Amino acid sequence: MARGSLALKLGVSFTSSSLLLLLLAYHSCSFYLPGVAPQDFSTGAELKVKVNKLTSTKTQLPYSYYSLPYCPPEHIVDSAENLGEVLRGDRIENSPYVFQMREPLQCKVLCRITLNSKTAKEFKEKIDDDYHVNMILDNLPLVVPIRRSDQENAVVYQHGFHVGLKGQYAGSEDLKHFIHNHLTFTVKYHKDSQLDLARIVGFEVKPFSVKHQYDGEWKNENMRLTTCDPHARRAVTSSDSPQVIEDKTDVIFTYDVAFEESDVKWASRWDTYLLMADDQIHWFSIVNSLMIVLFLSGMVAMIMLRTLYRDISKYNQLETQEEAQEETGWKLVHGDVFRPPTNSDLLCVCVGTGVQFFGMILVTMIFAALGFLSPSNRGGLMTAMLFLWVFMGLFAGYASARLYKMFKGTQWEKITLKTAFMFPSIVFAIFFVLNALIWGEKSSGAVPFGTIFALVFLWFGISVPLVFTGSYIGFKKPAIEDPVKTNKIPRQIPEQAWYMNPVFSILTGGVLPFGAVFIELFFILTSIWLHQFYYIFGFLFIVFIILVVTCAEITIVLCYFQLCSEDYLWWWRSYLTSGSSALYLFLYTAFYFFTKLDITKPVSGVLYFGYMLIASYAFFVLTGTIGFFACFWFTRLIYSSVKID
């Protein structure tokens, strides 16, 4: 009875803790801690616009702003970037766009350029590939407000403006390329009620294509234009006379600046960027996942509190030798259930890597849900994940060494080297090939050799020593003792029914963990490949907890059925059961590629599937490790609860 009450208490405690975490994760959506300090501007203060990379959802290959012949400043200066920004392909530089706070400008001439065949071709290619121009003011990205036709007064924000557009002149069938050469900026600010200071809370633009006209010969940027003249109160409000892109064509770049007072406070200025218009879908995802968890929890409760308790009571009441010989079910394999599996070294490495991933993701989720990884700190999320991965090497080494020692291993240095190098080597090899492809396309997304050297230093200089430290600590501790003795000669496993076939049960087990996360996965893929912000970490944290519970429960259920069929080879199957959800994840990413993305370049397709392969591999070791530890805890619990003669 003590064993049964212990299992009941553990189940109730686990459920209560999970519910508490869900509530905390949901309420954590209500605030965030900004990544930068606010800056106050007085009237007439200089506002400097910075330019970022050119991005396209069609090619997924970013390029620096000045890879096109846009108007340059006197000296191009690169802004200091963190590790995450470099890996994201951000290239932030200064620009000739300069404003004065709360002092509107109209038809400010930036420069005039003359296109040649090469530059005209470059502009046309970027327009064909749907490239966007990204800019930054006071750490706020430039957006284009677009009204939604399906909802009244609803506005969505497009990040950056298109390089240009394609169209036809009236009465002509020839398709022409037109450049957006006039920008109407709107800077929204929140004014201090007591001081004559203001903070920037919005940065919007409306792009136009205008073939500017002027009288006489061009002299300099102070020329008065006839198509856009503040003295004549003539402003650009449409693209009725667009600027075509052709060889030997002059293009004049101009811009307007308007300032608009806003009630939005500085602390809430990112709300419009992070506005979640489809929160009902996310709640549907949560409810869908919770239904799966409740279904599995019911099965686990039935096994733990009814069937398993009845089995333990029956086994412990067997008194005669004849009765013991007639026993059936999972107790029959007690002498083989803790026999070390084949390829035990590889299992130890996979479990250690999974522990490293679990620690990294858990800490990242907590900090992100609390608001410490705000999008205002560009690259902060990726930088945090990299450093957490490196420092979690300590736990990876410890976990693999503990399991290795339990399997009676003696060469802990060998298992440590495999843990430190196997997963990172595979990922680095794929990453290096993909980076070479990006480099061949002359994209700013190619990681510089200096950054690659920094990544290698983090790996060899910090991660590897920490893995060795964790392995040494784990191996020197006393080994985990098995609750029952292992037979010298292994039992013969009886012939299995078709539904207990290893391949069938493994693939079946992976469906439910994937089903618990696939809706949220859609939004994650959209944010990555369609260049949108993802900041609903409260929802994501809830989904992560549900994923952990689902992986644990489905593995326990299938492990119990496997042991009841007198099959004691549970080590690898427990890992692969929940880990097989990574296969469904990769298949879903392929479905997303062909149905949601408009990628046409072969290089871009290789990049997509290469990075998704890395993500699926990481998901495999994560979910597999969760399932393994759940099954490990379950088998030790049930076999320590029965009397073994």
Condensed to tens digits (0 to 9), the pLDDT of residues 106-147 reads 989 899 999 999 999 999 999 999 999 999 999 899 999 887
Q: Is the pLDDT of residue 281 over 70?
A: no
36, 41, 91, 514 from 377: Cα distances, Å = 7, 21, 15, 31
Residue written as tokens 């076939």?
501
SS (H, E, C) 184-213: EEEEEEEECCCCCEEEEEEEEEEEECCCCC
What is the rounded CA–CA span in Å between residue 613 and residue 583? 10
CA 175 to chain centre: 39
What is the rounded CA–CA span in Å between residue 372 and residue 173? 54
What is the rounded CA–CA span in Å between residue 36 and residue 271? 15
What's the pTM value of the predicted model, to 2 decimals?
A: 0.86
Q: Is the pLDDT of residue 29 over 80?
A: no
Higher-confidence position of 433 and 639: 433
The pLDDT value given to residue 278 = 56
Burial class (CB in 10 A: 0-12, 13-18, 19+), 308: buried
CA 111 to chain centre: 40
The pLDDT value given to residue 522 = 86
Q: Which of these ranges, 46-50, 222-226, 541-545, has the smallest mean pLDDT? A: 222-226
The pLDDT value given to residue 4 = 39
The pLDDT value given to residue 342 = 92
Among 349, 360, 423, 346, CA closest to 389: 360
Number of neighbours of residue 555 by Cβ within 10 angstroms:
31
Say if residues 95 and 124 touch (Cβ distance below 8 Å): no
Give Dmax over CA atoms of the chain in angstroms.
Answer: 114
Q: Which of these ranges, 157-161, 467-471, 575-579, 606-610, has the smallest mean pLDDT? A: 157-161
User: In this structure, is the dihedral angle defined by the CA atoms of residues 518, 523, 524 and 529, taken in order, positive or negative?
Assistant: positive
Say if residues 620 and 604 touch (Cβ distance below 8 Å): no
Among 612, 640, 557, 549, CA closest to 18: 549
Length of the chain as a residue count: 645
DSSP per residue over 317-343, as a string? T--SHHHHHT--GGGGGTTTTTSPPTT
Higher-confidence position of 245 and 484: 245
The pLDDT value given to residue 30 = 35
- In the predicted model, what is the mean pLDDT of residues 226-255? 86
Condensed to tens digits (0 to 9), the pLDDT of residues 292-312 reads 778 777 777 777 766 777 777
Of the chain, the percentage scoring pLDDT greater than 70 comes to 89
Beta bridge partners of 98: 48
The pLDDT value given to residue 32 = 39
Instruction: Band the pLDDT of 24: cuts 50, 70, 90.
Output: very low
